[in-house]
Structures are given as C-alpha cells and as structure tokens.
C-alpha cells in the first residue's frame, strides 16, 4: 500500500512517512529566525568593520554587538521581559539602530514612535501598546513630556542626552550597568511578536501593525538582495527609522555587513556632503527626498564619483525628477509597500530592453510598482468585490493584494480591522492598480480616504473631524491635491454655517495647526457649497477633480 505524505506537524509515531519519521527538528537543524542573529553573525564575521557612523561617532560591529547586549541585559534587570513593549522616540541616531537589535534579543516588542505626531497620538500609542519603557532622545523631549503628562500608566523613561525629563535614566548609564557578554536567547517561536508600528489608516485612532521575528528576518534578506547591499555598501539614513522600522533596513544593512550612516534631519546640503565624505552607495526615501535633492541649489551640492542607488516609495517620481537625479549621479529604483508589509513589498525591476526605449517610455516603466520582492510569496490585482484576478492587460483596474511571510501578523487589539485587512488569505492594500502582461503592477488610484504627503499617511476623516470643530464650519471634506514638493497635500473644502463670518485661509490653517501634527494640516482651503448626491453624500470624486485644477 502506498504511503500518503503527512504534514510536518503530524505527531511522531506509526503512520508517519519515511521522509518525516526520524527526521525531526533539533537544535542542530532548526533555530527560530530572528533579525538579532544577523548582528551576532556580523560581529563574528567582520568585528572590525565600521557598522555605524553618527557624526563623529564610529562603532565597529564588535562595538555595536556589545552595546546591544548591554542594553538587553540592562532592560532585563529592570524587569523587561518577553512581549513587554519598549517604545522609542528619537530621530535617526545610533540608539535607534541599537534598539532594533537589543529589544528583540530580549524577546520584547519594539515600538518606534513617529516624531512628527502630536502629543495626544503619542500618548494613545504608549497606552494602547502598554509600553513599559520609553527611550527618548533630547530633541524629542518636549513632545515626550506632553505625551507623558496625558498618560495614566507609569513608564520607565530612558534619556538619550539631556532631556530634562523627571526621573529619566541616562541611556549611557543604563548601558554601563548591562552585561557586555549577556547571553541572549531570542524568541522561542519565530512567529513571536517583534515590533509594533502604528499607522493612521483611514480611521481616527492609529492601528498598531505587529511584526514577527520571522517576517523581519526574511524582509531583511529580501531588502538586501533587492537593493544590492553588500559588505562594501554604505547606507545613508534619509528615511525615518520610525517609519516601518526604517523599511526594515536596520536589519537589512546588518545582514549585508554594510555601514549605516545616521542623519538626523533631511537637508540636501548634508546629504550631498555625507555621500561624498563617506562614499555612500545606497539611500531610501519618500518622493520629497528626491525632490529636495533634484531642486537643491548648486551651493548645496557636493560632487561625488560613485553611483548612488536611491530607492523611493510612495507616489512615483516625475520624469523630470528622475532625469535630474540620474544627471546628479543617482540610480532611482521605485518600491511599493506599506507598514503592514514591513515596508517594501514590490520593486520595479529594470528590464534589458528598457535601454532601447525613449526617455519618456523608460520613465513610464520606472513609475510602475513592479513585482514582488524575493521574500514575498505573491502579489495580485483582484476585483475588489469578487476577489478574482483581473486580466493582465494593463487596463483592467483592481485592488492590489499581498500574501507572504512579510505581511504583518495583524493589528494589536483590533480583530475586526485585522479580519478586514487579511480577508480571503490576502492583505487588502486598498490601492487600485492595473496588472501588466509582464507581471508588474501599476497603481492608478489610492485608497480614497488616504492622502500620502512626504511619505506620511494622512486620514482625511481625522482632518475633517478637526475642521468640523471650527464654530463657522458646517461641512468639511478633505482630499489630496497634487503637490510639487510633498507629492500630495491635504486640500480642505468647507461649507460654512448660514450667517457665519467666513474666516480667512490662514485662520483655518492656524486652527488646524493647533490640533493636528503639522504634516496633516491643509495647505489649501476652498469655501463654498459641497457637491452632494441625492442622499446627501459628499461627492469626493468631484472635489478631487477641483483640487487638481486649482
């Protein structure tokens, strides 16, 4: 009788297939994947190689590993254990990289916080994530102080530099108390939660996307392969590390034994200077970064001999930007993804025949969102209603869906949102696209209520809710307006209450600035009756057309 192949999960004993019986997982042949092991390997392989450059600071891989082990040990001594949340509020500094390895070593959960958000949202994130520790860099101390004042639960505060926060433990003192030979164990299960990343989505309160050790490890390898990172690479941090854990590049750079160069603030002159000084080979960013570099005055530019690979996510850069970047010595690669997919999920891979195309046709191909990373199982474009794949004809529009190990576990404490997002065995992105014959996808429209400005997601509902608080406003609708600098910016259409005194544009903007993070504030305000359907629903598609025409 022919034996039937059995699942690897089937218990040992009679009836197991001979390719399973006696061939079991042991410590010799199975270790749960975790990005923390990538640092252990790099420290053993290239201990003297420079791992991090942060201003005048230089850390070798041996130095970085010791500091991460010290941090893990010191946090453990303070009571931080498996699945406890450690939040960090900081710009792109060395300590952000260290947190991405030390916290996973503990089996705890890292929560990088967006430094551009308002105190109330930071406080919500800390409370919702049940943070035990908050690491704060001095630059972010005022924001942290206001958020902590609104927080009911006690949080251990660790200060990077002089923060002035009451009761804060100095970061370096904490490290000194840690064991440089700390024997970290990592997760018992690679599905264990590793990171908590909040995304505003389309509703008021942020949703916390949860990453696993397995997903982060695989995304690191996928990024390294896709972007061509090697031990000779020098990666410049123009992308905020709080955004999707820096698209998983803290782990990807270490996987390749590359050098990471920290940058606190995106400034063209600093970027050009660091590229030339440190021989930078790779950087990532939102379209705004490319725009800033392309439009930088000659006085801000520093020449460099190498070709710099530049990955851009979000809205596709214009042909003018791509042409200028190529002339300046950059090779542009278009990526697509989301917080829910650990950052990049697809890449626009250049094809050999592109060299024969005109510049206009080549730039059009480069604007596509492309094909899956090697570590993503699949991408598809499907009918949003039925879930069936659309024809690969470059014309039929459907929703982009993703599947694989580098899709989030779900949203923390939000089973309904998780079920909607992972419906039917796929992650539903909400982005509308066409599918080309070569397998590449190309976005045609974004989820209707999302505005992507400078790489940040803005919920139109959140902005509308604030506008409706204005005493003169009766109805508010916010849509995306094309923005040469930010890609998109919020445009507010306001229908005023009868007899109300109409405020000026600047008064409305100031009203919002007091209640929203700066990047969420409308840059354009239009007054007048809003177009509605017969049932009273505001016709946003009409407003989008009007916003594009302004």
Residue 74 is part of a domain; what is its CATH number?
Answer: 3.40.50.12780
Same domain, 338 and 219: yes
Same structural domain, 289 and 186: yes
59-83 per-position pLDDT tens digit:
999 999 999 999 999 999 999 999 9
Bridge-partner residues for 136, per DSSP?
Answer: 89, 159
The verdict on 457 and 359 lying in the same domain is no
- Contact, 241 vs 112, CB < 8 A? yes
Q: What is the pLDDT of residues 22-62, one digit of tens each?
A: 899 999 999 999 999 999 999 999 999 999 999 999 999 99
Q: Judge if 357 and 463 occupy the same domain.
A: no
Whether pLDDT at 367 is above 90 = no
Whether 11 has a pLDDT exceeding 60, the answer reads no
Does residue 12 fall inside a structural domain?
A: no
Tokens 């406003």 sit on residue: 473
Strand partners, 336: 346
User: Can you give the pLDDT at residue 422?
Assistant: 97
CA distance 439 to 8: 33
Over residues 515-540, the pLDDT tens digits come to 999 999 999 999 999 997 544 567 88
The whole-angstrom separation of Cα 550 and Cα 547 is 5
Rounded Cα distance between 474 and 128, Å, is 32
Position 313 scores a pLDDT of 85
On the CB side of 491, how many CA atoms lie within 13 Å of its CA?
Answer: 20
Residue 446: the pLDDT is 60
Give me the sign of the Cα torsion angle 226, 229, 234, 240: positive
Query: What range does the domain containing 173 cover?
Result: 36-366
Same domain, 349 and 455: no
Q: Are residues 250 and 126 in the same domain?
A: yes
Share of the chain above pLDDT 70, in %: 94
Of 320, 338, 366, which residue sits at a domain end? 366
The yes-or-no verdict on residue 153 having pLDDT over 90 is no
Tell which wins on pLDDT, 321 or 310: 310
Last residue of a domain, one of 366, 382, 415: 366
pLDDT at site 202: 41
Q: How confident is the model at residue 3 (pLDDT cuts 50, 70, 90)?
A: very low
Q: What is the model's pTM?
A: 0.83
Please report the pLDDT score of residue 453 as a whole number. Answer: 85
Sign of CA dihedral 323, 329, 334, 337: negative
In a domain, 356, yes or no: yes
Q: Is the pLDDT of residue 194 over 80?
A: yes
CATH for 507: 3.30.300.30
Q: Are residues 345 and 489 in the same domain?
A: no
Residues 310 and 180 in one domain: yes
Give yes or no for residue 318 having a pLDDT over 80. Answer: no
Q: Which residues contact 335 (CB under 8 A, 6 or more apart)?
A: 247, 284, 311, 312, 313, 343, 344, 346, 347, 348, 369, 370
State mean pLDDT over 154-167. 95
> What local confidence, expressed as pLDDT, does residue 342 receive?
97
Nearest to 491 by CA among 514, 443, 455, 524: 524
Q: What is the reported pLDDT for 508?
A: 95
Compute the average pLDDT of residues 229-238. Answer: 98
**Within-domain flag for 109:** yes
186 falls in which pLDDT band (50, 70, 90)?
A: confident
Closest CA to 243 of 155, 127, 338: 338
Within a domain: residue 243? yes
- Shared-domain flag, residues 229 and 353: yes
Average pLDDT over residues 165-179: 97
Top-confidence residue, 397 or 261: 261
Same domain, 361 and 469: no
Whether residue 479 sits in one domain with residue 347: no
Tokens read off for 76 = 């453990």
User: To the nearest 10°, the Cα dihedral for 438, 440, 444, 447?
Assistant: 150
In whole numbers, what is the pLDDT of the chain averaged over residues?
91
Q: Is residue 378 domain-resident?
A: no
Report pLDDT for 385.
84
Residue 373 lies inside a defined structural domain of this protein = no
Residue 151 included in any domain: yes
At 447 the pLDDT is 56
Q: Where does a domain end: 310, 340, 366?
A: 366
Burial class (CB in 10 A: 0-12, 13-18, 19+), 73: buried
Helix (H) or strand (E) holding 62: helix 61-77
Neighbours of 406 (CB within 10 A): 32
Residue 156 has pLDDT above 50, yes or no: yes
Q: What are the φ/ψ torsions at residue 54 (nearest 5 degrees)?
A: -135, 95
Asked if residues 488 and 520 have their Cβ atoms less than 8 Å apart, the reply is: no
Q: Average of pLDDT values for 243-270?
A: 97
Per residue in 88-103, pLDDT (tens digit) is 999 999 999 999 999 9
What's the number of domains the chain is made of? 2
In a domain, 426, yes or no: no
Q: Is 257 left (phi over 0), alpha (psi -120 to 50) or beta?
A: left
Find the angle CA(143)-CA(147)-CA(148) to the nearest 5 degrees: 115
Residues 455 and 321 in one domain: no
What's the CA gap between 55 and 493, in Å, rounded?
A: 45
């Amino acid at each position: 009788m022919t034996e039937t192949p059995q699942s690897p999960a089937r218990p040992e004993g009679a009836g197991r297939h001979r390719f399973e019986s006696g061939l079991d997982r042991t410590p010799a042949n199975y270790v749960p994947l975790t990005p923390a092991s990538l640092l252990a390997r790099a420290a053993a392989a290239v201990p003297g190689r420079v791992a991090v450059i942060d201003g005048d600071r230089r850390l070798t891989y041996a130095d970085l590993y010791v500091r991460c082990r010290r941090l893990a040990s010191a946090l453990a001594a303070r009571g931080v254990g498996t699945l406890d949340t450690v939040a960090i509020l900081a710009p792109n500094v060395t300590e952000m990289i260290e947190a991405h390895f030390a916290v996973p070593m503990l089996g705890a959960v890292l929560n990088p916080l967006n430094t551009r958000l308002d105190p109330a949202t930071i406080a919500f994130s800390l409370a919702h994530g049940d943070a035990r520790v908050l690491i704060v860099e001095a630059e972010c101390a005022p924001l942290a102080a206001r958020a902590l004042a609104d927080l009911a639960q006690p949080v251990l505060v660790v200060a990077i530099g002089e923060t002035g926060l009451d009761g804060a433990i100095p970061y370096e003192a904490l490290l000194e108390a840690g064991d440089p030979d700390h024997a970290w164990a990592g997760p018992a299960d690679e599905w264990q939660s590793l990171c908590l990343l909040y995304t505003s989505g389309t509703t008021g309160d942020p949703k916390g996307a949860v990453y696993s050790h397995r997903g982060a490890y695989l995304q690191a390898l996928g990024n390294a392969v896709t972007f061509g990172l090697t031990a000779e690479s020098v990666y410049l941090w123009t992308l905020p590390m709080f955004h999707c854990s820096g698209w998983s590049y803290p782990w990807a750079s270490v996987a390749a034994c590359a050098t990471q160069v920290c940058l606190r603030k995106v400034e063209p002159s600093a970027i050009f200077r660091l590229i030339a000084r440190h021989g930078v080979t790779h950087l990532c960013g939102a379209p705004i970064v490319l725009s800033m570099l392309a439009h930088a005055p000659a006085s801000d530019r520093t020449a460099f001999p190498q070709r710099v690979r530049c990955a851009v996510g979000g809205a596709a850069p214009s042909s003018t930007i791509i042409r200028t970047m190529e002339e300046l010595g950059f090779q542009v690669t278009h990526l697509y993804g989301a917080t829910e997919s650990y950052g990049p999920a697809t890449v626009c891979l250049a094809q050999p025949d592109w060299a024969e195309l005109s510049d206009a046709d080549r730039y059009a191909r480069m604007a596509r969102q492309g094909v899956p990373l090697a570590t993503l199982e699949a991408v598809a474009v499907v009918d949003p209603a039925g879930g069936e794949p659309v024809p690969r004809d470059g014309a039929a529009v459907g929703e982009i869906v993703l599947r694989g190990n580098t899709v989030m576990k779900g949203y923390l404490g939000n089973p309904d949102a998780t079920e909607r997002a992972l419906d039917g065995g796929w992650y539903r992105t909400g982005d509308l696209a066409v599918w080309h014959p070569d397998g590449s996808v190309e976005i045609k429209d974004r989820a209707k209520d999302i505005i992507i400005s400078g790489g940040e997601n803005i919920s139109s509902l959140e902005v509308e809710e604030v506008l409706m608080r204005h005493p003169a406003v009766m109805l508010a609708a916010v849509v995306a307006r094309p923005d040469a600098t930010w890609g998109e910016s919020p445009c507010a259409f306001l229908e005023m209450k009868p007899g109300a005194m109409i405020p000026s544009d600047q008064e409305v903007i100031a009203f919002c600035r007091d209640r929203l993070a700066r990047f969420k504030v409308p840059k354009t305000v239009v007054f007048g009756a809003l177009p509605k359907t017969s049932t009273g629903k505001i016709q946003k598609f009409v407003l989008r057309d009007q916003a594009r025409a302004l």
